[in-house]
Amino acid sequence: MKRLIAILFIFIGKITLAQQAVTISPQYPQRGQTVTVTYDPAAAGAQIPASATTVTLVFSYSTFYDLPWRIDMEKKGEVWTASFVLAKFAAFATFYLQSGEAIQKPGADSHYEVMVYENKTPVQNSNLYRGYSLSAQMRKSPEVAVKQAEQYEKELTLYPANYEAKLRLLVYKMSKADDKDKKWLREQAQKVIADKFYEAPTVMGNINKVTMGYLIIGENSRLDSIRKVIREKYPDSEVGRDLVTDMISKEKDTAKQIALFEKELKKETNQNAASFSAMHRRLFELYAAKKNSSKALLHAPKFSRNDDSPYKPETLKMIAQTLMENNIALDSARAYAQRSLAMADKFPTGIIRHFPETGYILPYANDSTRKAVFDRSSANLLSIIALIDMKAGRLPQAIRNMDKALQLSSDKETLDNATVFFQQTGNTARLAELQVLREKLLQEKIAKLRTNRPVPTLNTFVDMKGEPVPPETWKNKILVIDFWATWCIPCMEEMPYLQKIYDKYRNNPDIAFLVVNSGARNTLKDAQGWSGHKKYSFPVYYNTDPAIGDKFKFNIIPATYIINKEGNIQFANIGFEGAEVETKLKLQIEMLLNN
């Protein structure tokens, strides 16, 4: 009978396993191995229907830096699969599956995970990163901090010396302790950071961890003291010289800057030359600005010659552009631009990470992305070469290079260079063409960003007298909502452009404006006392709901939303994008007026 029950349990277990909608294999994946994720829409718990035409694996948290954040799954028979290889630095990732609006997750506040192992033991930092991932999975659940602390403890059980896990756990304990214990815990955290500093006080990777440590425990003011210690105790290290460079660069008198840098360069030898790269770069910029071509060209190769990092093509481009903009050494500027152009296929395609243990980690880029970066980089450089040729009096050659640039790419940098080129050559016809092209490209970009989600209830706004403003005020109108705060510098930079948009549409009965102090570290009194009331005529309101950012889904201001007459958000513009914001908002509004 017992044998029968055991067999029955095994059988039921196999049925349960077979019915899982998502499976991940192998069970204990190791670095260098291939992980395969399989989705079965016929299994119990499947939330994406079998009729779906696409399924995408979306990483919600990942240290698989060489992989894209979204991987299209491949349909094989009745199931969908995606496979990827774990790199030598992989430790942990979480993901969910998506098809249109349908989402496949194991639970309401959990995502699927891939933990990396070595001989069935989680690799270092994997539990630490699992803790970090919980905020993406559980959002603002009150249980997040507790669950994270459990993961930090697991990490320390396996790797007792884990610096970051120690600090994270101490910070959690501080949040729960009384004043006496909090002080003791803070002293422990400070000792952990100090010990880390003296492990390698002249190694940048280690200093970055020390800096991160003080940020973790909320002692940002300590960063300056750390820099001071390095400058004073280890001035001849590479880190020390970088900090000395930063300090000298703050000197407002550029002549004094040059004198201080030249004095430091007397310490340069063949053995320590690499540590002076930042100083040579700064001197290059200073001498170029002073139109001293011989001195600028003396320093240019000294910070670019031995640069074997992925940033080398950008460094060469910077030299060319700096010389060109200062109208000096144009032949040398062209030569640097040509060298950079020859490396156009090596321009970065995303965020490049660097860790002492692994070196540079290049981001994933598919073939189309690489081609787009190659075309854009080539166009940027050809447009720079065209400007150089124009300045050097080689106009026919300049025109050919600019035409080649515009055939390759219509990105902002290339168009900006082309605008300067046609302005200076007096080609008004081409300038008009460029403006039309800019608007067309922006319109296409905007169309792709159009959404259709319901706007949160607009019942938390008051006017400058503190009187509630009923939502009916904006009923059946296209609504432009801009969230800002008095302390937000980008918000202030955006205001003149917002005023121009308001002036254009203020008399249109189909459009209303709601320029709202978001309440982020501002009070109604702050909003009432804002000096902008004297400069701008658009209507200003104040938000009384501290959760407004979560409801609208923004955590950066300014945040501007365009809402249609039906009450659905059509466009979300997060952050200040410069002068282009005026054209962008105009096109978005016109798109709603015409549809």
Cis peptide before 26 (omega within 30 of 0): yes
**The two three-digit tokens of residue 356, written as one number:** 């002492």
Q: 284 near 321, Cβ under 8 Å?
A: no
Neighbours of 262 (CB within 10 A): 12
Q: What is the DSSP string of 345-378?
A: GGS--SPPEEETTTEEEPPP--HHHHHHHHHHHH
Which stretch, 320-329, 456-465, 509-518, 564-573, has highest mean pLDDT? 320-329
Interior angle at CA 593, CA 591 and CA 595, nearest 5: 70
Burial (Cβ within 10 Å: 0-12, 13-18, ≥19) of residue 308: exposed
d(CA 183, CA 74): 55
Q: 45 near 97, Cβ under 8 Å?
A: no
Q: What is the DSSP string of 103-167?
A: EE-SBTTB-EEEE-EETTEEPTTHHHHHHHHHHHHHTT-TTHHHHHHHHHHHHHHH-TT-HHHHH
Please tell me the predicted confidence (pLDDT) of residue 307: 67
Tell me the CA distances in angstroms from 257 to 249, 250, 286, 300, one per residue in order: 6, 8, 9, 17
Percentage of residues of the chain with pLDDT beyond 90: 71
What b/e string do you get for 217-249 counting C-beta neighbours within 10 Å, with b at 16 or more?
beeeebeeebbeebbeeeeebbbbbbbbbeebb
The stretch 516-528 carries a mean pLDDT of 88
For the cut 80, the answer to whether the pLDDT of residue 1 exceeds it is no
Burial (Cβ within 10 Å: 0-12, 13-18, ≥19) of residue 504: middle
For the cut 70, the answer to whether the pLDDT of residue 144 exceeds it is yes
d(CA 386, CA 396): 10
DSSP 468: B
How confident is the model over 201-255, as pLDDT tens digits?
998 889 999 999 999 999 988 888 898 899 889 988 989 999 999 999 999 999 9
How confident is the model over 324-374, as pLDDT tens digits?
999 999 999 999 999 999 999 999 887 888 777 778 888 887 888 889 999
* Backbone angles phi and psi of 413, in degrees to 5: -65, -45
What's the pLDDT band for 5 if we cut at 50, 70, 90?
Answer: very low
Q: What is the CA radius of gyration of the chain?
A: 29
What b/e string do you get for 335-360 counting C-beta neighbours within 10 Å, with b at 16 or more?
bbbebbbeebebbbbeeeeeeeeeee
d(CA 110, CA 141): 12
d(CA 508, CA 11): 70
DSSP 87: P
Q: Which long-range contacts (CB under 8 A, 24 or more apart) does 194-201 make?
A: 196/163, 197/226, 201/229, 201/230, 201/233, 201/234, 201/237
Q: Please tell me whether residue 516 adopts helix, strand or coil conformation.
A: strand
Phi/psi region, residue 46 (left: phi>0; alpha: psi -120 to 50; beta: rest), is beta
Please tell me the predicted confidence (pLDDT) of residue 19: 57
The stretch 122-140 carries a mean pLDDT of 93
For the cut 90, the answer to whether the pLDDT of residue 76 exceeds it is yes
How confident is the model over 399-454, as pLDDT tens digits?
999 999 999 999 889 999 999 999 999 999 999 999 888 888 888 888 888 989 99
Please tell me the predicted confidence (pLDDT) of residue 306: 66
